[in-house]
Amino acid sequence: MQRRTRRRRHGFTLIELLLVAGILAVLAAFAIPSLMGTAQQANISIAKAGIGRNGPIAKALTSYKWDVGHYPDSDEGLQALYVPKGQGDNDNYKGPYMDGAYEELLDPWGNPYEFRSPGDMNEDTYDLWSWGPDREDNSGKEGSDDVKNWLEK
């Protein structure tokens, strides 16, 4: 009697590998464009949260105003939130009001937030904004991607 030995198959065939690679390519073609828009929208949301009424910058500016009696002016800028206690121009200054270094206060696109006090748009307080992903002032243009702490009139 002759014994038949079956050969065990190890690994995948070339056709199987190409089929799986093709399926993955089709899935990636659908997924990647939708993820790109999601990342950009997430950065815009982060910028809005940073400068919004309950954001960390707004809270620090409010604390500064309670202690000193006014918001920092445009010349002082947001750097005034980082001055160590005892080094402020005002005896009531109890800062710093933000942790870290001023250089760390950047929008999600790596640019410093813009600050104006008193504000042109928020006359009683301050204007705080980011130029957005295109890093350009699109104020007043339809489709502007600027992130601002005021509503357009």
**Alpha-carbon span 69 to 93, nearest angstrom:** 9
Please report the domains of the chain, with CATH numbers, ordered by start residue: 16-148 (3.30.700.10)
- For β-strands 114-116 and 147-148, DSSP reports them as unpaired
User: Is the pLDDT reported for residue 88 higher than 70?
Assistant: no
pLDDT at 1: 59
Residue with tokens 């690994």: 11
Output the pLDDT for position 134: 82
> How many CB atoms neighbour CB 130 within 10 A?
26
pLDDT digits (tens, 9 = 90+) for 42-64: 888 899 998 888 889 999 999 99
